[in-house]
Amino acid sequence: MKKIFLPIKNEDIEKLKVGDDVLLTGRIYTARDMVHKMLVEGLKDKQVPPIVLYGSTIYYAGPTPGKPPKVVGSCGPTTSSRMDKFTPAMLDAGIKAMIGKGRRSEAVKESIKKHKAVYFLAPAGCGALLGSKIKKARVAGFSELGPEAIYELEVEDFPVIVGIDPRGNDAYRSTRR
């Protein structure tokens, strides 16, 4: 099990291989479909995004409200392929890591390889467990989207698996063989 402190460093990414089990600690941002669309359109129009994209880790999720003393309730991953049409532009803007579930397109794999980034898989069906790893949460942008706004999350020992490494190796391709 590898431990990585966020924001993720290039030297940490370079050491990752498909299938590695990783525990993430630090800051991640949630972003789903609408946020991706708004960020990419904003970048095209030279707007300053509400969060620093360069070096960031994006989690494809929308946390549910937590019952005190919990910060959030369930916070499981959404299907990553829904963000595929926006992902190359997000990587061009400096995103270094993404967390979600499911396969990615060939264009996304090539963009991950080009930018020496990483795609992590979060365990699907484990939203309550993942939510328990979130220590702080605040709306960081696009509050009008409610639960699909950008949330800044502070996570501790957040469990993920390397799905696509910086060399473009893909866990789904490996398992099909």
Catalytic residues: 36
For the chain, give the secondary structure using H, E and C: CEEEECCCCHHHHHCCCCCCEEEEEEEEEECCHHHHHHHHHHHHCCCCCCCCCCCCEEECCCCCECCCCCCECCCCCCEHHHHCCCHHHHHHCCCCEEEEECCCCHHHHHHHHHHCCEEEECCCCCHHHHHHCEEEEEEEECHHHHHHCEEEEEEEEEEEEEEECCCCCEHHHHHHC
